[in-house]
Amino acid sequence: MKNKKEMKNWLEEFKLNHPLVIAGPCSAETEEQVLKIAHDLKDTDVSVYRAGIWKPRTRPGMFEGVGAIGLKWLQKAKKETGLLIATEVANASHVKLALEYDVDILWIGARSTVSPFIVQEIADALNGTDKIVLVKNPVNPDLSLWLGGVERLYSANIKKLGVIHRGFSTYEKSKYRNNPEWQLPIELQNRFPDLPLICDPSHIAGRRDILQEISQTALDLNFDGLMIETHTDPDNAWSDAAQQITPKTLVEMMQELKTRKVTNKEADYNNKLNTLRTQIDVIDHGLLETLGKRMSVAIKIGGLKKQKNVAVLQTKRWNEILGKMILEGEQKGLSEEFVLRMFKAIHQESINHQEKVINSK
């Protein structure tokens, strides 16, 4: 897939002076709920109303969506509010129904993007239509699989495309429901600057209190839009209750978010600079996290050495590590002097930690 300018055209047709905002409940529950939330989102920054009709649930027995009836409710919401409507499709019959009810934007969920068969089935069912299709990242951090989904649609003549970054599952515990791994959308953006990129902070966070900071990072990284789950009674939502916010909170959050409008050359320069600086911040944060992990492994080694009464400093092993790192560093354009200085500092910090363990009672 080449970087096709036409991919961004649909977004430009919106003529927004702010990021594209897609909001609405995780799931359509009742006609009344769908209409109420849509009316509360009318006359805000929201342009697209979302609601899941078919819900891919991790475990069976959970609420799996109201099904096709929800499309009627969405259509009514569109008629009454003028908002465009969006829903998730996961097979050809979903696509057929969504087309019948003239859903404006269809998205492919994270659990579907992982399967080339499903994405192909959806792409074939959409061939010949001019729908906007957004591809969520696969649950696992695999950029090729994500791009592969976009390519399958592009080859089926779907040209109004975009991607949604909703974070990635990890086994490790973290403050996120789905780890953002910002380096993936950053790389995607560097490779395809004209592919509209939308952040879904709701599924990244899994909780309300960090939605704002995730959304701000996304805007600082020059994302084109946000998809935020919104419900009039979040605590009693039938799915994803912990992460949904009320329309009122969404409006407040949007007011707090700093968005950058590109109006002239100076602003364009600042915008690019800010995006790059945020990329550096994300990378630095990752560096610290990695160093922290390295120290906890060093501490474990300290514990073992203490049991065996072995000296902390193992010169032979240390020289081997250094030699390897200098070679690897060279391949990445890092000078020998820098690699030496950096690893000496890291090594010293490890020794300090290990000595603390060994000297503890």
Chain residues that interact with Mn ion, rule: CB under 5 A: 26, 240
**109 makes contact with ligand PEP (CB under 6 A):** yes
**Phi-psi map region of 113: left, alpha, beta (phi>0 left; psi -120 to 50 alpha):** alpha
Q: How far is the CA of 23 from the CAs of 32, 201, 262, in angstroms? A: 17, 11, 24
Q: Which candidate, 158, 143, 144, 138, places its Cα nearest to that of 56?
A: 138
**Which token pair is 339?**
């690699």
Question: Taking the complex as a whole, how short is the minimal distance between the CB of residue 55 and Mn ion, in angstroms?
Answer: 8
Residue (22 or 312) nearer to ligand PEP, CB: 22
| Sign of CA pseudo-dihedral 176, 217, 214, 116 | negative
Residue (40 or 200) nearer to Mn ion, CB: 200
Residue (114 or 326) nearer to ligand PEP, CB: 114
Cβ-based neighbours of 135, under 8 Å, separated by 6 or more: 107, 108, 113, 119, 146, 149, 150, 153, 161, 162, 163, 164
Question: Residue 23: helix, strand or coil by DSSP?
Answer: strand
- Residue in the shown chain whose Cβ atom is closest to ligand PEP: 109
**166 makes contact with ligand PEP (CB under 6 A):** yes
Question: Taking the complex as a whole, how short is the minimal distance between the CB of residue 241 and Mn ion, in angstroms?
Answer: 10
Question: Taking the complex as a whole, how short is the minimal distance between the CB of residue 24 and ligand PEP, in angstroms?
Answer: 10
76 binds, among ligand PEP, Mn ion, none (CB under 5 to 8 A by kind): none
Residue with tokens 């959409």: 126
Residue (152 or 203) nearer to ligand PEP, CB: 203
Question: Taking the complex as a whole, how short is the minimal distance between the CB of residue 361 and ligand PEP, in angstroms?
Answer: 49
Question: Taking the complex as a whole, how short is the minimal distance between the CB of residue 36 and ligand PEP, in angstroms?
Answer: 19
Question: Taking the complex as a whole, how short is the minimal distance between the CB of residue 353 and ligand PEP, in angstroms?
Answer: 39
**110 makes contact with ligand PEP (CB under 6 A):** yes
Question: Taking the complex as a whole, how short is the minimal distance between the CB of residue 51 and ligand PEP, in angstroms?
Answer: 9
The rounded distance, in Å, linking the Cα atoms of 213 and 219 is 10
Residue (212 or 230) nearer to ligand PEP, CB: 230
171-230 positions binding ligand PEP, by CB under 6 A: 203
110 binds, among Mn ion, ligand PEP, none (CB under 5 to 8 A by kind): ligand PEP
Q: What is the DSSP string of 229-294?
A: EB-SSGGG-SS-GGG-B-HHHHHHHHHHS------SHHHHHHHHHHHHHHHHHHHHHHHHHHHHHH
Residue (24 or 302) nearer to Mn ion, CB: 24
**Main-chain phi, psi angles of 164, to 5 degrees:** -120, 125
Report the amino acid identity of residue 19: P
Residue (174 or 359) nearer to ligand PEP, CB: 174
Cβ-based neighbours of 209, under 8 Å, separated by 6 or more: none
Binding site for ligand PEP (CB under 6 A): 26, 52, 56, 109-111, 136, 166, 203
